[in-house]
């Protein structure tokens, strides 16, 4: 049986170089980074080296990078503290944000009775920037939280435009950049983002580690208490090997952006062309078939399959060794349709199966051929 992994938006294969570096750290740098002896100091040096490298990739200072357990924790830290400690009374989001943002904002609304506004989206799922500007006119202290790249349909937000709008209206701007850090060059001296969340396992690093970018002097306070790690913002003994793994993965990605983007983009274009040729009744969700307006690593397609048969699609693909998904991996096992697609598809198209295929440097055109063959057979 062929084995094809087209679910890289859920998580990615760890690079060999990352595994090698992490193994070296686990074997030789086991001291607690908070300890004052040489073993602890050696671990601390590795953490700070990683912090500096990550900061340089984003063109920020090392003091603005805080390590977390992943993107979800970073989102929670930023949103909770913004309301609890910074006095944010109004949050602007879209209805197609990741649940790490949506569910956190729901809870904050219940707990603090904040105002929540939803920016309008067009039929492709893109943000209505004029409506966003209107929403920013409220006099309350406002935070905008919009993801850089949507994890289900791949739409790319113009974060520079949003950042400029927020700055002009004295609003804070947070972006879940889990699908873009490690895939796109982001210069945070050019983009006015106050807070940003990232996760290593989305760019060939380890699971269980990420970071929050927190612009200087914003006054954010901890979500997790117990120690003075991460300059008091995130208590808990640091996972040194994971942090080094994140550093190495981001360093390699940063050094190979153009080459790797070109390769993965060629796989995506080949997939789009193959679907268009062999399954002409299929349609593409959001902007996912537009390489300029969506992530170069992700396609979401609506297939011409009757409702009764659609429930078996992912099961049949799995039997054929094909890994893909109907949406966010965080919703796996849920009987509910994608909240993202529910916002942009017609009721008729929602009855059909939509599948997300996401690619990486480890995929090939031969794998695309196999997947298209299996889809044709099923249809």
Kindly list the catalytic residues. 330
Tokens of 367: 């794998």
| Contacts (Cβ under 8 Å, ≥6 apart) of 104 | 75, 76, 79, 80
Residue-wise burial string across 141-167, b where 16 or more C-beta atoms lie within 10 A, e elsewhere: bbbbbbbbbbbbbbbbbebeebbebbe
How many other CB atoms are found less than 10 A from the CB of residue 345? 21
Nearest Cα to 83, choosing from 55, 59, 106, 66? 106
Q: How far apart are CA 10 and CA 289, in angstroms?
A: 19
**Please, which residues have CB within 8 angstroms of residue 222's CB and are 6 or more apart in sequence?**
77, 81, 232, 233, 234, 235
CA dihedral sign, ordered 302, 364, 181, 77? positive
């Amino acid at each position: 049986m062929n084995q094809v992994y087209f679910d890289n938006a859920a998580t990615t294969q760890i690079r060999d170089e990352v595994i090698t570096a992490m193994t070296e750290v686990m074997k030789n740098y086991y001291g607690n980074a908070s300890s004052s002896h040489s073993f602890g100091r050696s671990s601390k040096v590795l953490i700070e080296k990683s912090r500096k490298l990550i900061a340089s990739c984003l063109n920020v200072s090392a003091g603005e990078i805080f390590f977390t357990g992943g993107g979800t924790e970073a989102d929670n830290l930023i949103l909770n503290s913004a309301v609890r400690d910074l006095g944010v009374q109004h949050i602007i989001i879209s209805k197609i944000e990741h649940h790490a943002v949506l569910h956190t904002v729901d809870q904050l609304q219940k707990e603090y009775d904040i105002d929540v506004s939803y920016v309008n989206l067009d039929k492709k799922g893109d943000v209505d920037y004029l409506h966003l500007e209107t929403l920013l006119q409220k006099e309350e202290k406002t935070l905008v939280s919009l993801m850089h790249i949507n994890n289900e349909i791949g739409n790319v937000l113009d974060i520079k435009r949003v950042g400029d709008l927020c700055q002009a209206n004295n609003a804070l701007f947070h972006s879940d950049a889990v699908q873009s850090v490690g895939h796109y060059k982001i210069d945070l001296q050019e983009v006015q983002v106050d807070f940003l969340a990232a996760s290593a396992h989305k760019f060939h690093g380890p699971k269980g580690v990420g970071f929050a970018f927190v612009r200087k002097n914003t006054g954010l306070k901890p979500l997790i208490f117990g120690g003075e790690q991460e300059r008091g913002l995130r208590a808990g003994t640091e996972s040194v090997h994971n942090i080094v793994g994140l550093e190495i993965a981001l360093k390699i990605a940063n050094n190979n952006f153009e080459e790797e983007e070109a390769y993965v983009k060629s796989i995506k274009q080949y997939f789009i062309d193959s679907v268009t040729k062999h399954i002409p009744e299929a349609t593409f969700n959001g902007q996912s078939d537009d390489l300029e307006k969506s992530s170069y690593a992700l396609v979401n397609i609506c297939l011409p399959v009757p409702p009764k048969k659609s429930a078996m699609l992912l099961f049949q693909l799995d039997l054929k060794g094909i890994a893909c998904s109907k949406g966010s991996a965080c919703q796996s096992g849920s009987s509910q349709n994608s909240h993202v697609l529910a916002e942009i598809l017609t009721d008729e198209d929602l009855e059909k199966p939509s599948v997300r295929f996401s690619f990486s440097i480890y995929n090939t055109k031969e794998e695309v051929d196999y997947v298209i063959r299996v889809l044709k057979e099923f249809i």
